[in-house]
Amino acid sequence: MMYRLYDYLSSGNSYKVRLLLAQLGIAHERVDLDIDQGETRTPEYLAKNPNGRIPALELENGEILPESDAILFYLAEGTSFLPERRLDRARVLQWMFFEQNYHEPSVAVSRYILQHTAENSPRRAELPRLKEKAHDVFQVMEPHLAGRDFFVARRYSIADIALYAYTHVAPEGNLDLGAYPAIRAWLERVRAQSGHIPITQG
């Protein structure tokens, strides 16, 4: 049995995993679940992932690993995408925790609201606050990237993949990256990596 990825094509969290699988050249089966149609809330899926979210990776032995950054860490073990030096590995986790705790709740949620809710949705009232939080996040990333090509150890890693997934589609959340030249240059470097695929590619 090969890996089976429970996926949703426009999800940045799912895209992280698809991107790393592509860059590692790992064959896998995709199971597309439409989050807007409640396909992650069925009894069958909840039995696999009680949190009812995507992505989740089904391993060769049938075990289920949820949470995008945990999946990245699992797949990257023993590869060039995860540094060997102890502090560098901790730095990778530092930026992945930053991504989930600060970046995803502002950048990704802004995009989600604009793409998945009606114009008269009460959730649209959240957008000004989320925009402010997103720019706070970019103002952490920008000076860090101003002096380096990638986030950790001067090399492309899963820290970059984790942060790239939603940063590169930030304009879809009405978030302008024009004031952040270091971020924009980093995005181009990530796009240039071998095996890169776009978010729309399954």
Residue 198 maps to a domain: no
Which of 42, 76, 110 is where one domain is finished? 76
- Asked if the model's pLDDT at residue 1 lies above 80, the reply is no
77-97 residue pLDDT tens: 999 999 999 999 999 999 999
Q: Is 81 part of a structural domain of the chain?
A: no
Write out the residue range of the structural domain in which residue 154 sits. 86-191
Residue 13 pLDDT class (50, 70, 90 cuts): very high
Ranges of beta strands (E only) in 50-149 are: 56-58, 64-66
Residue 202 lies in a domain: no
Name the domain boundary from 76, 99, 123: 76
- In this structure, the answer to whether residues 40 and 104 fall within a common structural domain is no
pTM value? 0.97
Distances (CA, A) of 107 to 175, 176, 195: 8, 11, 25
What confidence tens digit (pLDDT) does each residue in 114-148 have?
Answer: 999 999 999 999 999 999 999 999 999 999 999 99
Kind of pairing, strands 3-7 and 56-58? antiparallel
Q: Which of 49, 76, 103 is the last residue of a domain?
A: 76
Same domain? 153 vs 71: no
